[in-house]
Structure 1
Amino acid sequence: MRAHYRAEGLAERDLAPDPYQQFARWFEQAADSGLHEPNAMVVSTADAEGRPSSRTVLLKQYDERGFVFFTNYGSRKGRDLEANPYASLLFPWHGIARQVIVSGPAERTGRDETAAYFRTRPHGSQLGAWASEQSSPVASREELDATYARLADRYPEGEDVPAPPQWGGFRVRAEAVEFWQGRENRLHDRLRYVLTDGKWTVERLCP
């Protein structure tokens, strides 16, 4: 199976001064294109022994400080980032023949920031954060549903649900950001911002 790309290219002169501004441009275009969940990204981590793992997570915030997602700190990615605080984020925008890859150190968001975001989540998602010990084995679906039901009785709709202490955000502070644009004949454009001594430089990579 092979797709033939015929998209317009990406030239150095077209780039924004820094990767966060460039990401904002492409993210807006991805959203306007009708892509389903353009904020879905593959988060890759590695444990203390260097064994990698990946999963799809939703980007919830981004600015010049980094890219933020939320999770259970006891999950596999949470444990990985505790032992080895670096991550890679991949935005696979196949429908518009684009990808963005972010890599850099990851750190927990503050509890105030976590609580503020948690309050914006739907009530059911708030309960789900309490019900699921993410990445841990569970005996059955029935056990998970029963835990959720008990929480729903404790915190009925309309009642404030506190953010679980084991749940919160990670911010990935970019050290390198690659913008990939598919081109015909597999001669894709790959332009990568690299942070060196506090300044961004751009390099072109062979496809």
Structure 2
Amino acid sequence: MKTNPNWYYEEKTPGVDYLNPKIAQKYDAEHQKFRNFKEESEHIVQVMEITPEDTVMDFGCGTGGVALNLAKYCDKVICVDISREMLDVLENKAKKLNINNIETYSAGFLTYNHNWQDKVNKIVSMVALHHLPDFWKSVALLKMAEILKPGEKLYLFDIIFTFNIQDHQKSIEKMIKDMQDVAGDSMAHETEIHIKDEFSTYDWIMEGLLEKTGFLIDSKKIKSSNFVEYICSKL
């Protein structure tokens, strides 16, 4: 891991503890209640125009639900996650599936140490950047811009709020209820923890962070009042 100054934010997993091996082992089963990793990956390949020659980085890759599917479409996937336990699950799945074109690094957004001479074609970050407070999101995005080749793409998908602040209580309660209806009590509880302990932000803040760190927002799609997809080009 990169050695940062003493005043740097100490990355951790606020909210649900994905450093816990038992929770890491259950991640796929819980998230597949409301996600389809294969469809998500195919969508990313299409909108990001990923080619067999591309090197793709998945920041906050978790157990590799997306990364291992992307590996079928590109030259290499660099899988980065702060949780060694999640990467262990990813590596076991890759071995069973005979997927060999991945590299794994146990590091966070702020501690990952990239070979700056070997920049990447695409970066994907799904439901992970919210682990950082807003200022540190900007530092992470600046690093992503430095890692990307000029003109190449960032795919960012996260829990990002689009509701009016006056409606926050009603909107958050609906978010929790919707998750309960789709994925049950355990994921509804995780959603409560997310709201209380993690750092999801507003879309207008996220867009300012992207633009100030060297990205042009090519497209924005609001998947719900709480999930937003950005496709960005490095300027």
How does the TM-score come out when normalised to structure 1? Answer: 0.25
Structure 1 or 2, whichever has the larger Rg, is: 1
Report 1 or 2 for greater relative contact order, CA contacts < 8 Å, sequence distance ≥ 6: 1
More strand by share: 1
